[in-house]
C-alpha cells in the first residue's frame, strides 16, 4: 500500500460555471424535466466536442467495459448519462420522487442485516446515482442515510443543490477531519446506513492495487480501514441509470467486519477491496455508460 501523488481527477479544472448551473436549475424547476432534458442534449454534445482529454479517457474506459472500440455515439451516450443523473438530482433533492421509476434489487438483504445490529455501510462508486437512495428511504421507510464525502469535490454544483434544498446537506459527514470516524460511528449506532464512494482517492491517501476491468488500478484504502474499525457489514450499492426516468438500485453483500479481529484486519481489507473492484467491474460491463470517471484511471504514475 502506498501514498500516491495528487490524483488526476483533482488536478482537472472544474468546467462547470455557476451562472450556467443556475440557469439549468431554473429551467428544470420552472419548465419541467422534459424541457430540461432537451437542454441536456446540447450540453452533452458540447462536452463531447470540446473536452478532448475527457473524451479520450472516456473512450479508454469504454473500450474495456464494452469489449470493443467505442464509437462517437458511445461517447455521447456516456456523457449524456452523466448529465442526466446530475440533472435528476435537482428533482430528487426537492422530493419529486414521483417523477421516477425506481426498482430495488437486494434491499431485503440490507433489512436482514439491520435486524442483527444497528447500521450498515454502503460502498458505492461514481456509478449511476447515489441520490436515488434517498428516494428509496422516502418511499419504503428504509433506515436514514448518511453520506461520507469529500466536500472539495464538485463544490459549485453542491452549492447550487444546497440552495435548492438546504435540508439536502444535513445527512453529509465530511471526510478528512479528525472526528469523521466518530461521527460515522454515531450515525451507525443511531441505525443509519452510512455510504461512501470508494473508487477515488485524495492527495496523499493510501492506495492499493487491485485488478479492475482486466488491468491493475489503484483504489483508496481509507474507506476499508474505516469499515474494519467500525465493525459493520458492508454492501456494494449502485443506483444504475437505465434511461428516461428509470433507475435500478442494487444492494449486494461485499464484506462483514463484525467478527474480524485486529490481527486479521489487513488481510480482510485487501480481500474486501478486490471484491469491491470485481463488483464494480461487473456493473461497469452490465451498464457501461454509468461509470463517470473521465480521467485516466489506470495511470500508475
Whole-angstrom distance, CA of residue 143 vs CA of residue 123? 16
pLDDT value for 154: 43
Q: Which of 18-22, 132-136, 181-185 is predicted with the least confidence, judged by mean pLDDT?
A: 18-22
- Alpha-carbon distance of 153 to 138, in angstroms, equals 26
- pLDDT of 2 > 80? The answer is no
- Give me the percent of the chain exceeding a pLDDT of 70: 82
Report the chain's terminal Cα–Cα distance, integer Å. Answer: 14
The rounded distance, in Å, linking the Cα atoms of 162 and 179 is 23
Instruction: Report pLDDT for 289.
Output: 97
State pTM to two decimals: 0.87
Judge whether residue 76 has pLDDT over 90: yes
What pLDDT shows up at residue 295?
Answer: 85
Q: What integer pLDDT is reported at residue 159 of this predicted model?
A: 66
pLDDT band at 71; cut points 50, 70, 90? very high
Confidence class for position 243, pLDDT limits 50, 70, 90 = very high
Based on its alpha-carbon atoms, the radius of gyration of the chain, rounded to whole angstroms, reads 19
Mean per-residue pLDDT for 270-284? 97
Per-residue pLDDT at 16: 47
> Quick check: 15 pLDDT over 60?
no
- Domain limits, the chain: 100-290
- Among 178, 180, 217, which Cα is nearest to 201's? 217
Q: How far is residue 67's CA from residue 300's CA, in Å, rounded to a whole number?
A: 22
Q: Is the pLDDT reported for residue 246 higher than 90?
A: yes
- Tell me the pairing of strands 145-149 and 2-3: unpaired
User: Can you tell me the mean pLDDT for 215-230?
Assistant: 91
pLDDT of 126 = 92
Amino acid at each position: 500500500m502506498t501514498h500516491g501523488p495528487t490524483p488526476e481527477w483533482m488536478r482537472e479544472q472544474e468546467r462547470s460555471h455557476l451562472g450556467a448551473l443556475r440557469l439549468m436549475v431554473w429551467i428544470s424547476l420552472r419548465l419541467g424535466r422534459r424541457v430540461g432534458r432537451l437542454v441536456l442534449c446540447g450540453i452533452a454534445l458540447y462536452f463531447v466536442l470540446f473536452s478532448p482529454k475527457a473524451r479520450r479517457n472516456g473512450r479508454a474506459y469504454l473500450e474495456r467495459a464494452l469489449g470493443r472500440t467505442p464509437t462517437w455515439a458511445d461517447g455521447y451516450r456516456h456523457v449524456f448519462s452523466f448529465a442526466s443523473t446530475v440533472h435528476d438530482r435537482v428533482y430528487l433533492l426537492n422530493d419529486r420522487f414521483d417523477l421516477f421509476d425506481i426498482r430495488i434489487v437486494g434491499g431485503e438483504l440490507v433489512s436482514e442485516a439491520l435486524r442483527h445490529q444497528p447500521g450498515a455501510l454502503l460502498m458505492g462508486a461514481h456509478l449511476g446515482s447515489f441520490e436515488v437512495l434517498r428516494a428509496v428511504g422516502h418511499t419504503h421507510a428504509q433506515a436514514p442515510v448518511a453520506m461520507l464525502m469529500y466536500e472539495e469535490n464538485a463544490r459549485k454544483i453542491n452549492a447550487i443543490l444546497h440552495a435548492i434544498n438546504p435540508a439536502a446537506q444535513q445527512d453529509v459527514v465530511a471526510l478528512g477531519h479528525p472526528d469523521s470516524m466518530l461521527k460515522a460511528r454515531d450515525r451507525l449506532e443511531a441505525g443509519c446506513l452510512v455510504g461512501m464512494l470508494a473508487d477515488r482517492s485524495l492527495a496523499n491517501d493510501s492506495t492499493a492495487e487491485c485488478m479492475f476491468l482486466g488491468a491493475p488500478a489503484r483504489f483508496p484504502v481509507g474507506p476499508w480501514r474505516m469499515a474494519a474499525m467500525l465493525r459493520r457489514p458492508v454492501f456494494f450499492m449502485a443506483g444504475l441509470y437505465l434511461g428516461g426516468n428509470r433507475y435500478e438500485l442494487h444492494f449486494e453483500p461485499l464484506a462483514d467486519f463484525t467478527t474480524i479481529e485486529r490481527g486479521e484486519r489487513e488481510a480482510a481489507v485487501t480481500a474486501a477491496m478486490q471484491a469491491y473492484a470485481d463488483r464494480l467491474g461487473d456493473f461497469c460491463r452490465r451498464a457501461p455508460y454509468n461509470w463517470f470517471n473521465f480521467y485516466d484511471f489506470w495511470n500508475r504514475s
